[in-house]
Structure formats: structure tokens, C-alpha cells
């Protein structure tokens, strides 16, 4: 309850910078950031991504350099996504199980170079490995089948854990995959490997630049509405999150982020579990486009979005702006 004017003047605490800092309810630090990185083949390779200005694919040696940069900036986790060469993609995504695939090479190289100074989060889904661009196996009718896909995802997750991954992040939205992956990790002795589930991942229009980055955009046949969530649904997201927590997720993710702040808030209010948001490629590209067009300031737009995620209840945010944000926050 507040008093009446002029006994209560809410502008009093806003009058000076020191007072605004003192009364600030939410704070973003570099420790709240996760930096997504794209891995490509070769050595000494940097491939700028046209639809993601300022973001590149890096060969493994470049990924290691980015991980060291993250450590210096105070960013605690990097998230890896491979751009698998087309000749290694197949209908069944078998390259996901190769212990020497791009993902596993990058995991091992980062852990060899940085040890436990940084966490490595790995994407579990088949779209970077399939020739059709879907996140799972497809039957003759074009339907992405669930249970046989889950079996593939389990082997993919164990493969990444064996390589040294710290956090497994299933982004496929198949039913039952969290329990299956958790049991497999336990069985293989990976008791401390975390699962950050993409629990509420929507069939969004904001993913286009990401699909370009991992090389699946031009390959995708059909859409992903049969397994990713309908943007119109909120109650369904609560059911998805509840199931994933029960099945063994240590944390959950809402993707995309900004258009789904209501979902983040509801998840945080209902469940006693860390919640993360993915500020996806389309959101990143919008900020860069605004900067390039002179209609918005990158730094101001970025920091306002990040504080919105924190205000909604996020423990952290995956963002391609992570190094830039960390530099701003570090002064």
C-alpha cells in the first residue's frame, strides 16, 4: 500500500543515479549469460553468417579461443551448435553418434584448454545432422516419429557426455526424451551432467537465421509444427515444463524469449526450478537491423531486453550478444 501525494512522491527515489542503483530490483551480470557458438569444419576458419551480422561459424580452434574469451569476460557457459557438412548428413542423422563429430571435437578441445573454468552446454536434436532438416526421424508420410527419435537422442546425449559436456540441452520437443536421457546418463556414470530442457519451445518465425547458421534452413522439408508448440498456447507450456521436471530436468528453457515473457513468468511462479530464456537469432537480428537503420541504439535495446528477461524470472539468458553485453556490464 502506498500513501497519497505529496506525502508519497515515487519520483524521489528516481532523482539521482545513486538512488536508482540503490532501489533497483533486478540486475544483469556477465554470470547471467550463455554464449551460443557455431562450430564448422577446418582449421583457422571463420565464416561470417550474413543473416546474423557480427556472428560467425568457427572451426574448433576458433571455438576454443571464444571459450577463453568467455572466461575472461566472466561468461560462465558456452552453448555449442554444429554446422555439419552436407556429405555427413543423412536421413537418420547418424553423424550425431560419431564420437569424433564436430560437436565432440569442440567439447573436448574446450575442456582440454579451459577445464572447469567454463561450462559447455550442448544441443541435443537431429536437425544439424539430418538431410531433411527435421529434429527427428521421418516416416514415409513425412511425420516425425517420436519413440525411435528418442532412442537416437539418448545415444547422442551419451556421446556428448562422454566427450565432456557439462549440460545436455535437448531442443527436439519429443515426448519422453528427458526421462530417457536422464536414465542413460545415470547408467553411463554421468551423474553430475545437467539437463537443461527446452521445455517450452515454440514453432516460431524467429528461428530463420539460426537455421542458416547450422545449415539446415535450405534442407528443411515441411515445418516443425507437429512437435514444437503452438504460439497461441500457454497452459500447454505448463504441462510440458511439469513433465520435464518430473522426468529429471535440472533447469528448463523457454524459446524464443522476448515474445514469451508471459510464459517465463508463469513457469517461474509455478515451479521451483531455474528458468532460462533463449534470445533467439531473429531477436538478435532485429536489434542489429535497428542499429544499422539508425532507429535504435544497440546497447540500450540489448540491455533493456536482458533486464526484461531477469524481471520475468530468468536465471540466465542465451544470447548471441553475450560478449558485447559482458563488456558493457564490465565497464
Q: How far is CA 278 from the centre of its chain?
A: 5
Residue 63: how many other CB atoms lie within 10 Å? 25
Report the 10 Å Cβ neighbour count for 75: 23
What is each CA distance from 312 to 23, 26, 135, 247, 257, in whole angstroms?
18, 10, 29, 25, 10
For the chain, helix (H) and strand (E) counts, in that order, are 11, 10
Catalytic residues: 201, 255
Q: How many CB atoms lie within 10 A of CB 10?
A: 8
E strand or H helix at 147, and its extent?
A: helix 147-163
Query: For the CA atoms of 68, 69, 74, 77, what is the dihedral angle to 10 degrees?
Result: -60
* Peptide bond between residue 302 and the one before it cis (omega within 30 degrees of 0): no
Strand positions, DSSP E, the chain = 33-39, 46-48, 56-58, 77-82, 119-124, 167-170, 194-201, 251-255, 275-279, 316-319
**Among 118, 107, 94, residue whose Cα is nearest residue 326:** 118
Closest by CA position to 144, among listed 231, 226, 221, 229: 226
- Report the 10 Å Cβ neighbour count for 226: 14
Amino acid at each position: 500500500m502506498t500513501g497519497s501525494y505529496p506525502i508519497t512522491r515515487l519520483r524521489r527515489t528516481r532523482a539521482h543515479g545513486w538512488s536508482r542503483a540503490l532501489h533497483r530490483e533486478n540486475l544483469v551480470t556477465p554470470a547471467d549469460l550463455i554464449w551460443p557458438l557455431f562450430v564448422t569444419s577446418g582449421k583457422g576458419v571463420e565464416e561470417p553468417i550474413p543473416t546474423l551480422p557480427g556472428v560467425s561459424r568457427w572451426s574448433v580452434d576458433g571455438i576454443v579461443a571464444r571459450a577463453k574469451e568467455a572466461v575472461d569476460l566472466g561468461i560462465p557457459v558456452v552453448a555449442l551448435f554444429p554446422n555439419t557438412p552436407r556429405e555427413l548428413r543423412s536421413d537418420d542423422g547418424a553423424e550425431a553418434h560419431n564420437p569424433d563429430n564436430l560437436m565432440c571435437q569442440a567439447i573436448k578441445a574446450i575442456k582440454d584448454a579451459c577445464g572447469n573454468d567454463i561450462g559447455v552446454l550442448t544441443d541435443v536434436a537431429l536437425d544439424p545432422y539430418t538431410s531433411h532438416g527435421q529434429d527427428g526421424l521421418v516416416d514415409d508420410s513425412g511425420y516425425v516419429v517420436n519413440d525411435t527419435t528418442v532412442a537416437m537422442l539418448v545415444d547422442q546425449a551419451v556421446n556428448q557426455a562422454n566427450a565432456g559436456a557439462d549440460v545436455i540441452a535437448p531442443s527436439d520437443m519429443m515426448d519422453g526424451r528427458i526421462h530417457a536421457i536422464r536414465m542413460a546418463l545415470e547408467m553411463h556414470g554421468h551423474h553430475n551432467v545437467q539437463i537443461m530442457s527446452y521445455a517450452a519451445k515454440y514453432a516460431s518465425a524467429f528461428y530463420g537465421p539460426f537455421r542458416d547458421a547450422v545449415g539446415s534452413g535450405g534442407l528443411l522439408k515441411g515445418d516443425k509444427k507437429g512437435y514444437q508448440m503452438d504460439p497461441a498456447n500457454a497452459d500447454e507450456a505448463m504441462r510440458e515444463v511439469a513433465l520435464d521436471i518430473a522426468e529429471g530436468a535440472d533447469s528448463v528453457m523457454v524459446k524464443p524469449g522476448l515474445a514469451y515473457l508471459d510464459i517465463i513468468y508463469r513457469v517461474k511462479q509455478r515451479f521451483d526450478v531455474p528458468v532460462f530464456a533463449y534470445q533467439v537469432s531473429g531477436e538478435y537480428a532485429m536489434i542489429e537491423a535497428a542499429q544499422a537503420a539508425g532507429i535504435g541504439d544497440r546497447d540500450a535495446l540489448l540491455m533493456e531486453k536482458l533486464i526484461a528477461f531477469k524481471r520475468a524470472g530468468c536465471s540466465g539468458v542465451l544470447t548471441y550478444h553475450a560478449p558485447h553485453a559482458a563488456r558493457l556490464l564490465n565497464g
